[in-house]
Amino acid sequence: MVEAPPPSPWPARRHGLRFGRPVPGAQRSKDGWWLAWRGAAVMGVVNVTPDSFSDGGRWAGPEEAVEAGLRQAQAGALFVDVGGESSRPGAEGVPEAEELRRVLPVIEGLSGHGVRVSVDTVKPAVAEAAVAAGACLVNDIRGLNDPAMRRVCGDAGVPAVVMHMQGEPRSMQRAPRYRDVVGEVEAFLLERVELALADGVPGVMLDPGIGFGKRLEHNLALLAATARLAGHGLPLLVGASRKSLIQDLVGKVPPQARLPGTLALHLRAAQLGAAMLRAHDVAEHAQALGVLAAVSGAERRAEETGG
Ligand code: HH2
């Protein structure tokens, strides 16, 4: 027997993230503050680094970075992700004091304007200071493997993005290996969610970590498994913005010219149930998602009325 396909999750699916403290736009409930949204939202990216792979050195100082983040928020970003250490393949780590010097003024500036800021860091001390400066979400590409990171999030009442990475940025693209990439990434993420929730982290967003210790075939398998990875009752973040898998697919193209490929990957992820798209080009994503939602809504209405 041929089974009917499941109903499309787009655009009706609701997503929510729980906070242990008030956050702009979140509703108070008996177990914390819930931020709810429908369909795929956008997380803007502001890298305050000299060496990020696509926007390194773009902002002359904190004021320019704050302005860029404000523009992203005005264009519809639900969060603005501020990072002070590049995680591009081959990147070396940055000392804690330098990372703090880069991100804190930007986080203070943005959160002072009511922007929901997430901090992209793997260092518990940076996360702690960022949260004290107004960040309300911790984006940890090491998937909260450090108990101190889970403690920081739990104590401060901030949720976290738990991302999968095989290896370390310095060497992760040398020889990534999986027997079953989707199964292994999914099992890793669910294990980390359990640890996080047990340690009092109020909410978790899952992220398969596109490009982090993955070859093209791994990235494609994970993107194709978006509906499965989004099916665990937790919001799923997809971050393919400007990444090199796009040129692996279509031939050499510099990072700043990868918006068309990014949109193709992100719109498909949105259709398959992704809750959040981490993107450098927020206004362009907002336009594309708005058009996709309208067309999908019209299709649905036509199906319902037999049109
Ligand atoms: N990708 C990058 C950085 N942080 N965080 C999450 N959760 N998911 C991602 O896919 C992700 C991430 C890499 O992109 P970018 O920040 O633009 O570059 P760099 O690491 O070179 O600063």
Q: Indicate which residue's Cα is closest to atom 21 of ligand 1.
A: 52
The closest alpha carbon to 112, from 149, 73, 55, belongs to: 73
Residue indicated by tokens 């319902």: 304
Q: Which residues pair with 139 in a beta bridge?
A: 120, 161
Q: Is the CB of 140 under 6 A from ligand 1?
A: no
- Known catalytic residue at 243: yes
Q: Is 9 a residue whose pLDDT tops 80?
A: no
Distance CA 242, CA 233 (A): 28
3 state DSSP class of 132: helix
Q: Model confidence over 211-260: pLDDT tens digits?
A: 999 999 999 999 999 999 999 999 999 999 999 999 999 999 999 999 99
- Residue 266 · residue 246 · CB < 8 Å: no
H/E element, 238:
strand 237-238
Residue indicated by tokens 């982290």: 201
Q: Indicate which residue's Cα is closest to atom 15 of ligand 1.
A: 52
Distance CA 195, CA 112 (A): 32
- Known catalytic residue at 192: no
pLDDT of amino acid 40: 96
Q: Is 3 a residue whose pLDDT tops 70?
A: no
Q: Is the CB of 240 under 6 A from ligand 1?
A: no
Amino acid 208 reads P
pLDDT of amino acid 123: 98
pLDDT of amino acid 16: 97
Distance CA 209, CA 182 (A): 11
Q: Which two tokens stand for residue 66?
A: 């704050």
Give the Å distance between the CA of 120 and the centre of ligand 1.
8
Q: Indicate which residue's Cα is closest to atom 9 of ligand 1.
A: 239
Give the Å distance between the CA of 56 and the centre of ligand 1.
12
pLDDT of amino acid 92: 86
Distance CA 155, CA 251 (A): 46
Query: Could you tell which of 17, 80, 87, 145 is best to mutate to test the pocket of ligand 1, judged by most ligand atoms within 8 Å of the CB?
Result: 87
pTM: 0.95
